[in-house]
A and B are shown apart, each in its own frame.
Chain A
Amino acid sequence: MTRIRTKLIIALLVIGGAVTYLVQAGVRTGWVYSMDADAFLEKTEFHSRRVRLTGNVGLDNVDSNPAMLYAKFNLEKNDKSVRVDYHGAVPDMFKPGHEVVVEGELDENGVFQADVLLTKCASKYDPASPHSQEMMEQGEDPYGENDQ
């Protein structure tokens, strides 16, 4: 039955090759580096890539309008800040001073264009720390690149 064994190995190799290809493609589109806002400013190699940033919403210069579906604010971390221009549904938990996560890319003017805005909280089903909006923001990209 060596013929079968050969066929089996070939079949598994084909599957392995196909899966490796898929994983590579998946990694290219689905894996996003995430870091704090201040670290991002230092790491210039990430300035032309899609990244995920964590920081607090600055207290000044917050311009957000849930009805018009945008929010512009400074994302602050350790006294450094990045200007963020977000378009999409604004979470109810979005407030100055709160910790948020944004995903997007730096544009040529040094403004971070974000299409994902998550409000963050330490623990989830815990009564003390509410989180409802984060779920909503799961809508970020449920199907790959279908988001507007």
Chain B
Amino acid sequence: MIPTLGTLALAAAALVSIAVMIFSLASVRFTSARALSAARWGIGAFAVLITVASALLLVALMQSDFRLEYVASYTERALPTGYKFAAFWAGQQGSLLLWGGMIAWMSAIAVASRRASRGVGEAVTVGVLATICGFFAALLLFAANPFEVISGIVPVDGHGLNPQLQDLAMIIHPPTLFLGYAACAVPFAAMMGAMAERRTDYRWLTDIRRWVLFAWLTLGLGIMIGAWWAYIELGWGGYWGWDPVENASLLPWLTATALLHSMIMQEHRGVFKRWNVGLLATTFILCIFGTYITRSGVVSSVHGFGESLVGTFFFYFIISLTVASVAVFAWRWRSLEPQRKLSSMLEREGIVLIANVLLVLMMLITLVGTMYPAISRTFLTDEVTVGASFYNRTVAPIGLLLVGLMATAPALVYGQQAGKRLGRSLIGPGIAGAALTAIAAIFGLHNIWALIVTLFASVTFVAVLVNFFHSVRVERSHTGAGLLPVAWRLLDANHRRWGGFVVHLGMALLIVGFAGSSLFPDKTTHQVGPGESFDVGRYTLTFNGLKEVKRGNYTAVVASIDAKLPGGKVIDVSPERRFYDKRPDEPSAQVAIRSNWREDLYLILAGWEANGKVTAIQAIINPLTMWIWIGSAVLAIGSIICLLPRIGKAAGIAVNGGSKHMEGFTKGMTTPANNGSSMRPGNDEDSSQLPRRPRRPALEPVHTAMLTTADSSDTDLRTGPAAAASCPS
């Protein structure tokens, strides 16, 4: 029953997606609103059908219905229920179904929430979404059907889940990543729609701003959860090995990072339009490309899937997407003229331009490195494999340079005088950062890379804090309100600005963690007998012997080890090897990690002679690793702040906007630079909130007037008719 129903649901979904494509074409051809409406409902129907298919597969997994090849391949009766659930995305077919389902729901939510529900642009957007959905339906139906019935006798029990996937991180890593990939489809479709309609202003971008941010956040989280999984589960002491699959997930994240920044430039200044279209298309194509790499077997990877027809499907899909994107790009090239020219390399646009170039270079280098084994195999006589040190010497230094640019972010403004202001605003943070770096050097930190990281990270922190407290002080001098209420109102009045800075702080913490754990890991191997002690870093470890423990669906060989901490406290850190019942030939390492803010003690049970008389323990001290996870959390919090709508009520906002205008008004009316103030009120705010934003009594006209008169070239586009209309004063 389930196999038939499942395949039927997929077939129906495929048909619905074709119908949606036809309806959207018809709505353009006959300018029919009803056809478009039908197409929009069709996307919803598609989502429902894919959900039905997913539910059926889930039921089969839960009931251990081994008639299905997928269920038999990835589960067993003894598998804990949580892992039966996770087995949904443990294999090729199921993970593609999950991805297809996510794309369907993202599309449905996007279609339902879009304001413009008519016109060519909308029809094209819906049509493109339907094409992407249809691709997945066809893929599931013809190349990776999860409802395939087993040939021959139905087995009594299944193969069980790959031991290394039996981990909490692995339950959440794939869905998070797929959610990010799926969310990238929406801005791509919206871009196609906007280009079809020749909408080259910023407004179509504000419609998708949250989508891009959400995609960036989930992609980033997915990558970091994957890194965490690698760290605790794979047992080689690291979290990132520049493996093709890891690289594949990094590629779209890099371009999405660039996109987030250049979108702000288009919104505020009317520049970078071509960048934005190009980055939007590239990001989505790279999401598909990542899947292609993992599913096609084109490059061998440690966590890929087998070769299959799926690769061929993806290959042609990538080609079609690329051709379509390039065609659209060429078609609208002239309409995407920037609205102004760069006036200084040191203004925001200049720095963002350099940052974007660096991000794209990082992406290209990673892409070439990842594909080089395949390229050299095809075009050269000898195959070349690209090791981690290639990326560590290319991508890592460029990344560090980016962090340096990031440190200047709070001090960046628009306009010709930006360079001078930048210098002035950076003096304080620069001195503080240099002092901190000098202290670090005095206390024995002599590695040049580590010192650079210290400098950049500390300048980032100080610059953001100085900027924030300066704003708070200015605010307080005008309102006389208390510190905390003012700080809260400032934050709430400009989620995007401060949320963005929180993301930067998270990046600074991340880079500190990366530097510590990659520059100074201390790896040692110890061959010990029962009762012997050995020193690792600041710890004294005592090996108590090997023991065998039977738990659930596996038997563990545990190396019982006590660690004496510097304080004298003794704790248990016992690494294991697990032999799963279904796969006794495939033991999996369970590392023991003792983590604190300074360093991780990381122990691996590497091997033993009979009875454990001699046991090999690999010990690694990974400095500052915890800051990677803390930084990731901070990064996520910052992104969520950006995504949240304003919480406070009307009275709060005049504060941020008001006094700043006053500052410009009272102190600097005559100097143009001043209106490029580092804390420009309305600028960074979400324009989608404009209609909801209560008016600013009295001060708003001053703001507009001041901006336009003081330096006309520096005018925010927002103060144009749109903003004026939605914010009558």
Segment at the B interface, from A55-63, A74-82, A106-114, A129-137: A129-137
Residue on A nearest B234 in the bound complex, by CB: A135
Q: Mark A109-146, 1 if CB is under 8 A from B, else 0.
A: 00000000000001111111111111111111111111
Q: Is A29 an interface residue when CB atoms closer than 8 A count as contact? A: yes
In the bound assembly, the distance between CA atoms of A55 and B354 in angstroms comes to 46
Residues 14 to 34 of chain A near chain B (Cβ within 8 Å): 15, 19, 22-23, 25-27, 29-34
Q: Which residues of B contact A35 (CB under 8 A)?
A: 382-383
Tell whether, in the assembled complex, residue A143 and residue B234 are in contact, meaning their CB atoms are under 8 Å apart.
no
Which of B159, B353, B388, B393 contacts A142 (CB under 8 A)?
A: B388
Tell whether, in the assembled complex, residue B343 and residue A1 are in contact, meaning their CB atoms are under 8 Å apart.
yes
Tell whether, in the assembled complex, residue B586 and residue A66 are in contact, meaning their CB atoms are under 8 Å apart.
no
Which of A4, A65, A141 contacts B342 (CB under 8 A)?
A: A4
Q: How many residues of A contact B (CB 8 A)?
A: 58
Residue on B nearest A65 in the bound complex, by CB: B609
User: Known: A4-B342, A134-B302. Contact between A139 and B238, CB under 8 A?
Assistant: yes
**Which DSSP category, helix, strand, loop or mixed, fits chain B's interface?**
mixed
Tell whether, in the assembled complex, residue B525 and residue A11 are in contact, meaning their CB atoms are under 8 Å apart.
no
Tell whether, in the assembled complex, residue A143 and residue B387 are in contact, meaning their CB atoms are under 8 Å apart.
no
Q: Which residues of B contact A145 (CB under 8 A)?
A: 389
Q: Is B423 an interface residue when CB atoms closer than 8 A count as contact? A: no
Which of B92, B391, B521 contacts A26 (CB under 8 A)?
A: B391
Tell whether, in the assembled complex, residue A30 and residue B606 are in contact, meaning their CB atoms are under 8 Å apart.
no
Which of B164, B297, B343 contacts A132 (CB under 8 A)?
A: B164
Chain B: minimal CB distance from A147 (Å): 7
In the bound assembly, the distance between CA atoms of A47 and B160 in angstroms comes to 44
Q: Is B363 an interface residue when CB atoms closer than 8 A count as contact? A: no
Tell whether, in the assembled complex, residue A7 and residue B365 are in contact, meaning their CB atoms are under 8 Å apart.
no
Chain B: minimal CB distance from A101 (Å): 9
Tell whether, in the assembled complex, residue A146 and residue B385 are in contact, meaning their CB atoms are under 8 Å apart.
no
Tell whether, in the assembled complex, residue B607 and residue A135 are in contact, meaning their CB atoms are under 8 Å apart.
no
A19, A124, A125, A133: which has the most chain B beta carbons within 10 Å? A125
Chain A: minimal CB distance from B366 (Å): 11
Q: Which residues of A contact B715 (CB under 8 A)?
A: none
Listed by A's residue number, 14 A-B pairs whose Cβ atoms lie within 8 Å are: A8-B353, A11-B354, A15-B354, A19-B394, A23-B365, A26-B392, A29-B393, A123-B307, A124-B302, A130-B585, A134-B302, A136-B589, A142-B388, A144-B389
Q: B residues engaging A (CB < 8 A)?
A: 73-74, 90-92, 159-160, 162-165, 230, 234-238, 240-243, 297, 301-307, 341-345, 350, 353-354, 357-358, 361, 365, 369, 372-373, 382-394, 397-398, 518-519, 521, 523-525, 527, 577, 583, 585-589, 604, 606-609, 614-616, 618
Nearest 5 pairs between A and B by C-beta?
Answer: A30-B390, A66-B607, A139-B236, A123-B306, A144-B389
Q: A residues engaging B (CB < 8 A)?
A: 1, 4, 7-8, 11-12, 15, 19, 22-23, 25-27, 29-35, 43, 52, 65-69, 89-90, 92-93, 122-148
